[in-house]
Amino acid sequence: MSERLLTVLVSLVLVLSGTHVQGEENPVLNKLLAKKIKEELSKFHSPETGYRDGAHWLHFDDPGRSLNVSVNVKKEKRIELAGTITAKIAFNYQVELSKTFLGERVVFARHDFGGHADATLSVTASALPAAKLSDTKVQIKEIRVNNLRMRSDLADRFRGRIESFVNDVLRNKKGDFETKLADALNKVKLAPIVSATGNQQKDAFEAAVADIVKKALLDLTKGKQFSIRSNDPGFKGTIVVVDPATNTKIDIREFKVQSDTATVDAVFETRLRIKGTLTLEGETIPLHVVADTTVNGAGQSRLDTDGDGFVIKSHVSSADAKVTVKELLEPDDLQGGDEFASQLLTKLLSSRKADILKALNKQIEVQPLEL
């Protein structure tokens, strides 16, 4: 049976347990390993890949839709998993009616009884987290079959025999299921951060979020000029970020992780060149400044799965800017000087806050993770 490798970015999945007490649950890892278990068991989807013995066969029926896996993963020295698998079973059981004549068995009637049943499997697993999951041990603790449904009323007299057939096949497949699942989970690759403990894991998640936001800011601003217009204060002109790679900085002041979500308070700093015209008391004058801008922002970042990989989904919910003019290039006789210009430009950016947040959130909304 062919195996499809699943390369996963568990570096930041397991990072989320960094602020957890030992053994606390991790919903993203739950989702990942449940997906892997379903992927493996879904291979038992036909008589050829499930079970066949002549006219007798059994397999998971339409596992893409009917097979469900729910697991609860905890991380201590080993990753410990406990879960439940529910599936729809399709089967066929052939009954032969025969007599023995002159020492020979003579079959005078055969009938196929097909149908469906519901199965529930209780599973546990344990693995070592290193460069990849290793030493994986899987145990199917219990298999329950119920709601046997047969397509013919004639099958009622053989119900006991058919129920035994379905139960026996699943029990006999138990070892095969355990081996296949262990082999599949052993192929789950882990990044080096998996072996880290405590704050090292939390720090990796924090660093990833900081990198995403900084990259988004650079992508938004590098080599770009933005038009800006405001009625209060009356301004029309352009804003350019001066040397974004050098001047754009992010300092995360608070980073709290709960389950798969981090709440973040951060300070962003950059340098702007603002140039245009300013209308004061009915008079329009040129305004040209170089200013340092500090933004106090707050938001959330959540780790999630995306196919065989992972993404961080982020959203900045608030941002308050303060502008400090460093060079007042025009006009050189502005009443109130640098301080007055700083107040006006702080108000200018605040008036465009909704547009700025919208552009930033669009950029950071979903970011894939890389090893």
pLDDT in tens, 264-278: 999 999 999 999 999
Residue 194: name the closest of 259, 260, 129 by CA: 129
Reported as a single tens digit per residue, the pLDDT across 338-356 is: 999 999 999 999 988 999 8
Residue 25 pLDDT greater than 70, yes or no? no
Q: Which of the residue ranges 55-59, 71-75, 97-101, 312-316 would you say has the lowest mean pLDDT?
A: 97-101
CATH of domain 198-368: 3.15.10
User: Does residue 2 carry a pLDDT above 50?
Assistant: no
pLDDT value at 51 more than 50:
yes
Question: In this structure, what DSSP letter does residue 130 have?
Answer: S
Read off the pLDDT of residues 243-295 as tens digits, 9 standing for 90 and up.
Answer: 999 999 999 999 998 878 889 999 999 999 999 999 988 889 999 999 999 99
Q: Are residues 133 and 75 in contact, defined by beta-carbon separation less than 8 angstroms?
A: no
> How many whole angstroms separate alpha carbon 280 and alpha carbon 295?
26
Flag whether pLDDT at 119 surpasses 50. yes
Q: What is the pLDDT of residue 14?
A: 34
DSSP code string of 3-42: -------THHHHHGGGGSPTT-B-HHHHHHHHHHHHHHHT
User: Which of the two residues, 200 and 296, has the higher pLDDT score?
Assistant: 296
- Which class for 160: exposed (0-12), middle (13-18), buried (19 or more C-beta within 10 A)? exposed
Rounded CA separation 12/26 (Å):
11
The pLDDT value given to residue 312? 87
- The structure's pTM equals 0.73
Amino acid found at 84: T
Q: Where are the domains of the chain?
A: 11-193, 198-368
- Predicted pLDDT at 89: 96
pLDDT of residue 74: 84
CATH number assigned to the domain covering 11-193: 3.15.10
- Do 11-193 and 198-368 agree at the fold level? yes
pLDDT value at position 4? 33
How does DSSP classify residue 194?
Answer: G
